[in-house]
Amino acid sequence: MNPTAIKIAGSAEPDARHERRRHPRVGVTFMAVFRTPHGFYGCLVVDLSAGGAKLSFAETPLVSPGEPVTLLIDAFGEFHAEAMWRRGELAGIRFIDPPAKIQAAFHDVLVA
């Protein structure tokens, strides 16, 4: 797996949620494994920050907001998180790991 992220030009339309974010998000493309209490799902990480990520799935994951999850990315490691939302094939997670761990793992990606 290629550990290089593809930064995506532009971003989603600004909204109230965007304004509340503590960490800037970067558009990326990483293949990953999403582990929930109910099973494993392949996914694509489509945006990332030191505080969380948005994921895209081919198969809608069985996960509810508040459940503990783990995101496994071969080139970067394992990251503990909490499911925040799910809409069809998209889901949002909040990292439980400290932002410093996320920033260190994804330093080259999160640096503007």
Extents of the domains making up the chain = 22-110
Q: What is the pLDDT of residue 112?
A: 58
Give the other-Cβ count within 10 Å of 22's Cβ.
Answer: 9
The model's pTM is 0.78
Q: Are 92 and 31 in contact (CB under 8 A)?
A: no
Contact 69, 93 (CB under 8 A): yes
Distance CA 59, CA 49 (A): 24
What is the pLDDT at residue 21?
Answer: 59
The tally of CA atoms less than 13 A away on the side-chain side of residue 35 is: 7
Residue spans of the chain under pLDDT 70: 1-21, 112
Residue 111: predicted pLDDT: 75
Beta strands 77-87 and 90-95, pairing class? antiparallel
Write down the CATH number for the domain with range 22-110.
2.40.10.220
